Amino acid sequence: MNVNDSSSRAAHPAGHSVAPDEIARFSALADRWWDPSGPMRPLHAMNGLRLDWARRHLPAPGTPGEPATRLLDIGCGAGLASEGLARMGYDVTGLDASDAAIAAARAHLADHPLPPDGGSLAYRVGSAEELQAEGARFAAITALEVIEHVTDPAAFLRVLADMVAPGGVIIVSTLNRTLRSLATAKIGAEYILRLLPAGTHEWRKFITPAELGAFASQAGLRVSDIAGMVPALGGWRESHDLGVNYIASLSAP
C-alpha cells in the first residue's frame, strides 16, 4: 500500500520542542536533502546503519493498516529514513516542522513510489505536541538526529513516551557531548572538512548517554540497548564507542 498524504498547512503553531532557528536552517537545505554528495551527505552515509539497527530493535511490522504497524518518524526532514522504514513494511507518518523539508519529501516519494505490497508513507507538517494533542498513538517512534535540535529534550521525550503504545519502542540517534565530538562532529565536520554547513550543530546541545538515560527514565522509558556509530569504509558501522555518534532503543512499559 502506498499513500502519499497531500494535507499540508502554510503555517502551524510551534510546540515547545520546535526551535524556529533550527527549522529555518534545515529548511534552507531542503532542496538538496536527497543529494548524496550535498549538505546532508553524512546522513546519507549513516542511513543504512540507522535503518539496519532500527530493523533489529523495532517491533516487526504486522499487517499493513493495523495498529501494530504504525510508526512515527519525527523530525523526518525530507524523508531519508521514512522511505526506508516504509519499505520495511511499516505504515509511516513522517512529521517535520519544516514546510520546505516536507515538500521535498513528498516530491521524492512521488518520483520513487513505494512497492504496492509494502507499508505506507504519509507526510505532514507539524510538531510533536500537535500530534500528541490529537491523541495519536504509534507502535514505534524513530527520532534520528533530532533530539539535539529541540528546545527541551526531556520534555520532548515525555511527549514521545505519551504517543508510543504500551510495549512499544522509541529509537533515538544523536551526538554525545564530549571533547572528541566538539573536535570532530562540530569543528572538523563543519569548519575543516566542510561535511556539514557551518552552524548545523550547537555542541552545548549534544546529549550524553547518561543524560539520555535520565530523560528516558523521567518519561517512564527504559534504555534497552545502545550502540555507537562510527565512520568506516563503505559506510558507517556499529561500535562500542559512544564518544561521538550513538543510537539507542528506549522501551515503553
Residues 6+ apart with CB under 8 A from 50: 81, 144, 173, 229, 247
The pLDDT, as a whole number, for residue 200 is: 76
List the binding residues for S-adenosyl-L-methionine.
Answer: 50, 75, 96, 144
The pLDDT, as a whole number, for residue 192 is: 63
List the binding residues.
Answer: 50, 75, 96, 144
Residues 6+ apart with CB under 8 A from 104: 30, 31, 33, 34, 78, 79
- The string of pLDDT tens digits covering residues 114-142 is 998 889 999 999 999 999 999 999 999 99
Residue 172 has pLDDT above 50, yes or no: yes
Q: What is the grid cell recorded at 164?
A: 508510543
The pLDDT, as a whole number, for residue 4 is: 42
Q: Residue 11 — pLDDT band, cuts 50, 70, 90?
A: very low
Please tell me the distance from the alpha carbon of residue 89 to that of residue 114, in angstroms, as a whole number. 10
Residue 156 has pLDDT above 80, yes or no: yes
Tell me how far CA of residue 164 lies from CA of 23, 82, 234, 247, in angstroms: 24, 17, 34, 18
Which whole number is the average pLDDT over 154-159? Answer: 98
SS3 162: helix
> Can you say how many angstroms the Cα of residue 98 is from the centroid of all Cα atoms in its chain?
13
**Main-chain dihedrals φ then ψ at residue 90, nearest 5 degrees:** -80, 150
Residues 6+ apart with CB under 8 A from 112: 83
pTM: 0.90
- The string of pLDDT tens digits covering residues 67-118 is 889 999 999 999 999 999 999 999 999 999 999 999 999 999 999 999 988 8
- Indicate the average pLDDT of the chain: 90
Domains of the chain: 20-251 (3.40.50.150)
Please tell me the distance from the alpha carbon of residue 199 to that of residue 95, in angstroms, as a whole number. 23
Q: Residue 6 — pLDDT band, cuts 50, 70, 90?
A: very low
Q: Where are the alpha helices (DSSP H) in the chain?
A: 20-27, 41-57, 80-87, 99-111, 128-133, 153-163, 179-181, 209-218
- The string of pLDDT tens digits covering residues 13-72 is 445 799 998 899 899 999 999 999 999 998 999 999 999 999 999 999 987 778 889 999
Give the burial class of 66: count Cβ atoms within 10 A of its Cβ; 0-12 exposed, 13-18 middle, 19 or more buried: exposed
Residues 6+ apart with CB under 8 A from 89: 61, 64, 69, 118, 119
Please tell me the distance from the alpha carbon of residue 209 to that of residue 223, in angstroms, as a whole number. 10
- The string of pLDDT tens digits covering residues 184-242 is 887 766 666 666 667 677 889 999 999 999 999 999 999 999 999 999 988 899 999 99
Q: What is the grid cell recorded at 152?
A: 527541551
